[in-house]
Chains A and B, each alone.
Chain A
Amino acid sequence: ADRSIPAAKQKYVPSSGTYPKGFLAGSAFAGVKASNTKYDDLALVVSEEPCPAAAIFTKNIFQAAPVKVSKSWLAKSRSEGQTFRGVVVNSGCANAVTGKVGQEHAEAMARKTDECFSDADETPKTLVMSTGVIGQRLPIDRITEAIPHLHSNLGSTHDHWLDAAKAICTTDTFPKLLSRTFTLPSHPDTTYSIAGMTKGAGMIHPNMG
């Protein structure tokens, strides 16, 4: 599909941003969906140093493989004080209702990303997300082959963040990226940043916890 941004939506796409220190973002093409031959469909957002993470997940009973995998790792991290580096995301295939193989694919995607970090060990460092059509298996070989390239594309500029925000889109008509700065009362001279990206256009009535 043509992903040109409709004129009415262009005002929602930022042309610059202030991004948090020590985080990198990037995207790459894996060709998850056969009909997509030109748009990046893998995104990676990482912290340069391991850091604490949290997540909320759908309460739908049929939770997709990446939801189950990330959820179990986060649950384990709470009891063991584990830290994470970031999250790898593919668009084009939700890896949902794909059974045990789907779970293995989600783990493989995260493990391959972990291998890109110098501090790789046995504990998972990367959470995983997928979005797209339900009931199809991930083309995992194409994804794992693209992950080293995805890692080499990481950077901290606005364009890196925007590219990542675009890569997680499915039927979205525009990438959704926000960033801002703030201060805290205890250190009013210190400026902090917060940045976030989101995607979604249909099948949207979240009930996460």
Chain B
Amino acid sequence: TLLGIICTDAKIDPRSMKKLLDKAARHSFNSISIDGDTSTNDTVAFFANGAAAPPGADPIALATVDERAKVFGPPRLNADTKAFATELSNFMTDLAKLVVRDGEGATKFVTIRVRSDVDYPTAKRAAVSIARSALVKTALYGKDANWGRILCAIGYAPGIMSSPELPAVDFPKVKDSDSLKQVRPDFTSVSFIPADGSEELKLLVRGEPEEVDEVRAKQILEMEDLEILVRLDDFPPPRGDLIRSHEAVMYTCDLSHEYVTINGDYRT
């Protein structure tokens, strides 16, 4: 179960609190997976008492109108609301990452970043499927650069379909709901991004396996932190430059013997 309690002494419009929390959860607590099981009790509560706000200060509110916007354009978030929304989102992301670092028996913190030219849901579905794959996670525990399992997990992700009949030059900017689900195996690339800032290790480029330096792969996989970058939009340039990329990020961990030990012993 995931529980969270967040308190701030900023002053927030009560009607805006739920929306701010929902928005921040999207890329934080709702973007982590340890074992793929959604609990019966997950709850995050958020309190704002305004104790630090100067007298007469306006509350942070999603519906407020920037004064400049009255002159220059349609209503938009004011600067305080924007700043607080960013603060809350970053804060909740850091809290959520701590949960992943404590995954039962986890030895690795893994960021899965998926870029799609189609839309965010396509990227998110692929990222979630990778994060839930027991075989991807055991490979990470075993320090195995197993891009095959990563591709496999993308391939069966709910809502994702292949579209091999489409010629490369006309790969669509999507118009209808069917095409929202398209992934082309031959435009798919997978890399490991080392946590030490060194050069990415390309495992698969546009559907073709790379000659992987196993020694380098092992070095990267021995680090506690790892990023897996999946490009579902890997067009050959210059075509690729014209396509907007939608990015989804999931945070997960490896799956170890210890997970089974803990949960074999934790009973109802």
Identify the A interface with B (CB < 8 A).
9, 12, 19-23, 45, 47-49, 51-60, 62-64, 66-67, 70, 78, 81, 83-84, 86-87, 89, 94, 96-97, 127, 129-136, 168, 170-174, 176, 178, 180, 182, 184-187, 190-209
CB-nearest residue of chain A relative to B101?
A12
Interface extent on B, as a size class? 35 or more
Would A131 and B266 count as touching, CB distance under 8 A?
Answer: no
Q: Is the CB of B53 within 8 A of A190?
A: yes
The verdict on A194 contacting B37 (CB below 8 Å), with A55-B43, A208-B25, A209-B22 known, is no
> What is the CA–CA distance of A127 and B44 in the complex, to the nearest angstrom?
11
> Which one of B77-85, B157-165, B190-198 contacts A?
B77-85
Contacts known (A60-B40, A63-B40); A192 close to B52, Cβ less than 8 A = yes
21 A-B contact pairs sorted by A residue (CB < 8 Å): A23-B49, A54-B14, A56-B21, A60-B42, A66-B41, A70-B45, A78-B15, A87-B5, A94-B41, A127-B45, A168-B3, A184-B80, A187-B54, A194-B7, A196-B91, A197-B95, A198-B2, A200-B34, A203-B34, A205-B36, A207-B38
B10 (CB) vs chain A CBs: closest residue: A192
In the complex, are the beta carbons of A9 and B102 less than 8 A apart? yes
CB distance from A176 to the nearest CB of B (A): 4
Query: Quick one: CB contact mask for B181-203 with A, threshold 8 Å, 1 for yes?
Result: 00000000000000000000000
Q: Please measure, in the bound complex, the distance between the C-alpha atom of A12 and the C-alpha atom of B50, giving whole angstroms.
A: 29
Q: Mark B1-32, 1 if CB is under 8 A from A, else 0.
A: 11111111110101101101110010001101
CB proximity of B152 to chain A, nearest CB, Å = 19
Question: B38 to A23, Cβ gap below 8 A?
Answer: no
Which A-chain residue is minimally distant from B224 (CB atoms)? A8
Decide: B7 and A190 in contact? CB cutoff 8 A. Answer: no
B5–A196 touching, CB < 8 Å: yes
B60 within 8 A of A: yes
A207 CA / B11 CA spacing, docked (Å): 27
**Cα–Cα, bound, A51→B18 (Å):** 14
Give the residues in chain A near B35, CB-CB below 8 Å.
Answer: 202-205
Contacting pair B262 A171 (CB below 8 A): yes
CB of B168 within 8 Å of the partner chain = no
Which residues from chain A contact B50 at a C-beta distance below 8 Å? 51
- Which residues of chain B are near A194, meaning CB under 8 Å? 6-8, 10, 87-88, 91
User: Which chain A residue has the least Cβ–Cβ distance from B21?
Assistant: A54
**Residues on A with beta carbons closer than 8 Å to the beta carbon of B223:** none
Q: B9 contacts A193, CB within 8 Å?
A: yes
Cα A76 to Cα B78 in complex, Å, equals: 29
* Contact (Cβ within 8 A) B41 A129: yes
A185 to B9, CA, bound (A): 16
A131 touches B1 (CB 8 A): yes
A58 engages B40 (CB within 8 Å)? yes
A131 to B, closest residue via Cβ: B1
A113 nearest CB across to chain B (Å): 14
Q: List chain B residues, Cβ under 8 A from A196.
A: 4-7, 91-92, 95
Docked Cα-Cα span, A197 to B46, in Å, equals: 11
